[in-house]
Amino acid sequence: AQSVAQPEDQVNVAEGNPLTVKCTYSVSGNPYLFWYVQYPNRGLQFLLKYITGDNLVKGSYGFEAEFNKSQTSFHLKKPSALVSDSALYFCAVSLLSGNTPLVFGKGTRLSVIA
């Protein structure tokens, strides 16, 4: 069975500073990895995904994530945070064998302070 861990419930960062939201995963096989963002009273919005190929994946709103197979990690990053990036971020994993459902982490609340 696959699982995802987001070790930080909350991440605080000053506007303009780089941000990192951490994610580690566990699967028996090759993973599909995803990041989603949730703004207040909204559904989850897709940010980016890793399927195969280049370990650095670029996504929406200037976000990127780095897949590290040896550390089983898929951390979300952004070089310069904006106040509007403040939201709840979810990491998710599914298996590379087809459309298995996404298994989500518990989420990390990002607060960007002006």
Q: What SS3 state is found at 51?
A: coil
Q: Binding of another protein at residue 63 (CB under 8 A)?
A: no
Short-list 82, 114, 105, 78, CA closest to 8: 105
- Of 15-23, 65-73, 76-84, 99-107: span binding another protein (CB under 8 A): 99-107
Strands 3-5 vs 44-50: parallel, antiparallel or unpaired: unpaired
104 scored as a contact of another protein (CB under 8 A): yes
**What is the binding site for another protein (CB under 8 A)?**
32, 34, 36, 42-46, 49, 51, 90, 94, 96, 98-99, 101-107
